[in-house]
Amino acid sequence: MASGVLSQPVLDQLFRQARTHAYWQDRPVEDATLREVYDLTKMAPTSVNCNPLRILFLRTREAKEKLVPALKEGNRRKVEEAPVTAILAYDRRFHDHLPELFSHVDARAWFVGDEPYREETAFRNGSLQGGYFILAARALGLDVGPLSGFDNDMVDGLFFAERYPNYRSNFLCNLGYGDADRLRPRGPRLGFEQVCTLL
């Protein structure tokens, strides 16, 4: 179904000109847009269609304030000021959905009783889906500011322990419309020869 190379402005918006934002325009993110971000994210592939990603969208001051004590100090202002902060997590019991998601074999059985394999599969595929989420947000005109500097155990305790004991926080992602005037210079990247080998 590939239909050709996307245009340069599209590649710029998704990859080349897009930046990680820490300052935001005074412009809200509609709930409908958050739904659209998920509805794109969910379509991209995961192993055995396992879909382990789970998302908490924090929109209110109250929800954000609950998160703040778990953040490294340098990330607090970023979360407080972002229109929305998403907690991206993965579900360690993702395999309970496999009879519905991957119905032609008993894929659930592969994971029952093998916790390390479940954890690895959930972490890998939940992170893959995190990558899709970031690019889906950009595809819908949003800017993102992903963050790893926080206490995962504390976030799990605050947000998941009671209602979703099988969820594990992965990373955070601020969402909004960025203030491009406050961007810092972009960091360098590793080149093709440093990362890739052709065999």
* Touching its own copies, residues 143-162 (CB under 8 A): 143-144, 146, 148
Instruction: Give me the phi and psi of 110, to 5 degrees please.
Output: -65, -25
Residues 161-190 within binding reach of its own copies (CB under 8 A): 170-171, 177-178, 180, 187-190
Kindly state whether residue 63 participates in binding its own copies, applying the rule CB under 8 A: yes
Kindly state whether residue 111 participates in binding its own copies, applying the rule CB under 8 A: no
Kindly state whether residue 68 participates in binding its own copies, applying the rule CB under 8 A: no
Q: Which of 45, 69, 157, 165 binds its own copies (CB under 8 A)?
A: 45
CB 52 within 8 A of CB 122: yes
Determine the straight-line distance between the first and last CA of the chain, rounded to whole angstroms: 27
Residue closer to its own copies by CB (options 78, 129) is 129
Q: How far is the CB of 108 from its own copies (least distance, A)?
A: 14
Q: Which of 69, 131, 157, 165 binds its own copies (CB under 8 A)?
A: 131
Kindly state whether residue 129 participates in binding its own copies, applying the rule CB under 8 A: yes
Nearest residue to 93 via CA among 75, 81, 111, 80: 111
Token pair recorded at residue 24: 């935001």
Q: Which of 14, 68, 154, 158 binds its own copies (CB under 8 A)?
A: 14
Query: What distance in Å separates the CA atoms of residue 68 and residue 77, rounded to the nearest whole number?
Result: 9
Nearest residue to 37 via CA among 137, 139, 134, 177: 137
Q: How far is the CB of 113 from its own copies (least distance, A)?
A: 19
Query: What distance in Å separates the CA atoms of residue 143 and residue 136, rounded to the nearest whole number?
Result: 10
